[in-house]
Amino acid sequence: MSARNLELKFIKKVRESKDSYSFYFTRPKDFKFNPGQYVKIFLDIKNPDKRGSSRYFTISSSPTEKDFIVITTKIIKSSFKKEFLNLIPNEKINAFGPVGYFDFNQDKDKNIVLLSGGIGITPYHSLIKFIDTKKLITNVTLIASFDFHKNIIFYEELMKIENENKLIKIIYTLTKEKREGFEKGRVNEDLLKKYIKDLKTEKFYLVGSDTFTEEIYTLLTDLEVKEENIFKEDFSGY
């Protein structure tokens, strides 16, 4: 899928949690991408702060969703995010993509463990919807880590997929809050061993802040998971 300049028409935004939103854009004709790929978005900002006026965002929708592409992000404080939040329907923005290589091979990867920190869940949302819609024979375990319940995203939607697809297991863990139905604490050896029978037969994906991916990478290699079975992507900027 070769990258190109894109003009994306904004359709709508949907609130996902206290400060996260999914932004829907019309999918350009012939725009193909793989689950986990991302785009660079450019905004026209009059007085941008020093973080600038472009950002990378993963496409959180699935390639099987033909009418739109979705970007899911946390609105915190940058001038970029403020401008993004103020997009109005039919407004057009510039982008470039798809870029990035998310190492999922649907013919080979039959047992996968997806580990995310916070908003790092976005590529997995795309991948899980893709695997489910295409009825791929792939065993998926998602362990999504968030700090508080108020910040979790995609929960109902992914639980619905889990209920209907025996190959997909969804676990959310909260690091700063105890709550029924959720695991409590950071991703650690006990949590992995509770849900994964044999760490050696799995391919692991790690997405989140640099700190999250580094911590989990060390944990996995200490547990003798081979480096070639670990794919990691840092969402730098948080």
Ligand X SMILES: Cc1cc2nc3c(=O)[nH]c(=O)nc-3n(C[C@H](O)[C@H](O)[C@H](O)COP(=O)(O)OP(=O)(O)OC[C@H]3O[C@@H](n4cnc5c(N)ncnc54)[C@H](O)[C@@H]3O)c2cc1C
- Number of residues counted as binding ligand X (CB under 6 A): 23
- 147 is a contact residue toward ligand X (CB under 6 A): no
Q: Which residue is nearest to ligand X (CB)?
A: 237
21 binding ligand X? (CB under 6 A) = no
Work out whether 236 is an interface residue with ligand X (CB under 6 A): yes
CA distance 79 to 46: 9
- C-beta separation of 223 from 199 below 8 A: yes
Residue with smaller CB distance to ligand X, 38 or 212: 38
- Whether 43 contacts 83, CB under 8 Å: yes
Instruction: Indicate which single residue of 23, 31, 38, 124 sits in contact with ligand X (rule: CB under 6 A).
Output: 38
Query: For the chain, what is the radius of gyration of the CA atoms?
Result: 18
Q: Are 87 and 203 in contact (CB under 8 A)?
A: no
The nearest distance, CB 200 to ligand X, in angstroms, is 28
Which of 21, 25, 33, 80 contacts ligand X by CB under 6 A?
A: 80
Helix (H) or strand (E) holding 94: strand 92-99
Q: Which of 22, 34, 37, 58 binds ligand X (CB under 6 A)?
A: 58
Contacts of 59 (CB under 8 A, 6+ apart): 33, 37, 38, 39, 69, 70, 71, 97, 98, 122, 126
Q: Binding to ligand X by residue 81, rule CB under 6 A?
A: yes
Q: Does 237 bind ligand X (CB under 6 A)?
A: yes
Establish if 55 lies at the interface with ligand X (CB under 6 A): yes
Q: Does 103 bind ligand X (CB under 6 A)?
A: no
Q: Which is nearer to ligand X, 47 or 90 (CB)?
A: 47
Distance of alpha carbon 64 from alpha carbon 134, whole angstroms: 8
Query: Whole-number minimum distance, CB 27 to ligand X, in Å?
Result: 17
d(CA 187, CA 207) in angstroms, rounded, equals: 13
Would you count residue 126 as binding ligand X (CB under 6 A)?
no
Dist. CA 225–CA 229, nearest whole Å? 7
DSSP state of 16: -
Binding part of the chain for ligand X, among 11-19, 66-74, 146-154, 181-189 by CB under 6 A, reads: 66-74
- In the list 8, 39, 115, 119, the residue contacting ligand X (rule: CB under 6 A) is 119
Q: Which stretch of DSSP H or E encloses residue 69?
A: strand 68-74
Residue number with CB closer to ligand X (22 or 138): 22
Residues that bind ligand X (CB under 6 A): 38, 49, 51, 55-58, 72-74, 76-78, 80-81, 100, 119, 122, 233, 235-238
